Amino acid sequence: MFLKTLWILGMMACWGLLQPAVPIQVVCFGDSITHGAEVDGHSWVWMLQQQHATNQWQFINAGRNGRKTADKQELLPVLQQYPHAAFYLIFLGVNDLKNASSAQVDSCVRNMQWMIDRIREVNPQASIVILSPCNVNLHTMSALNRQKQYNIRTQQALFQLEKQYRRLARRMHTGFLSLLHVVAPEHYVDGLHPDLAGQQEIADAVWTYLTHHFPQTFHT
């Protein structure tokens, strides 16, 4: 009987070793920059998955073109789909800031706090990182984007938003990564969306942040 028990325990252990490891899910919730506009979907999320993901990590692209923080309700089905994700990286704000004022910046902060609260209701163990949006390049801004009113007020608001997001992260005890100065000015396709080189700069910044702040989870 004792030997049989040992045999069963041994078989169970072997079976456990044979089971594929469940990857750590990193949900990247954002707008067109996350989705991969102007780069055929090869966004910073795709680059992280290609360059760093193994069977240990899964970088999930939950971006949508045009998404604002005001579209915060769109987070709810993502939470339903990935209720046990270990990380949520939220990269939103620039689409709220067309011809912006301080009121739009304050609205972004309120919406971001709402999203943080919803994540913690569904998945209190998840780590949340606020990604403050990239700058824009007014000199290379396309006519279409100028028509949409991405302008000097947008740029000024992005600088305000970085400070406000940093304060929010401190208050809500989340992670924070500023991408405001990460993308080189020459690495914007249309003044708004990073090209492949700019997306790589974002991917590198995010990976550096993750390996520095979560070394037990992310390592080279």
Phi-psi sector, 173: left (phi>0), alpha (psi -120 to 50), beta: left
Domain range for 85:
21-213
4 in a domain, yes or no?
Answer: no
Whether pLDDT at 25 is above 90: yes
Q: What is the pTM of this model?
A: 0.89
What pLDDT digit, counting tens, does each position of 119-146 carry?
999 999 999 999 999 999 999 999 999 9
pLDDT at 3 over 60: no
- The mean of the pLDDT values for the chain is 92
CA distance 48 to 24: 13
Query: pLDDT per residue over 143-187, tens digit each?
Result: 999 999 999 999 999 999 999 999 999 999 999 999 999 999 999
Rounded (10°) CA dihedral 133, 136, 142, 144: 40
Is the Cβ–Cβ distance between 92 and 133 less than 8 Å? yes
In a domain, 12, yes or no: no
CATH number at residue 205: 3.40.50.1110
Instruction: Please state the domain count of the chain.
Output: 1
Specify burial of residue 13 (Cβ count, 10 A radius: 0-12, 13-18, 19+): exposed
**Average of pLDDT values for 42-47?**
98
DSSP 8-state assignment for residue 174: -
Q: Is residue 77 part of a domain?
A: yes
Whether residue 64 lies inside any domain: the answer is: yes
User: What pLDDT shows up at residue 220?
Assistant: 65
Position 198 in a domain: yes
- Give the tens place of pLDDT for each residue, 77-93: 999 999 999 999 999 99
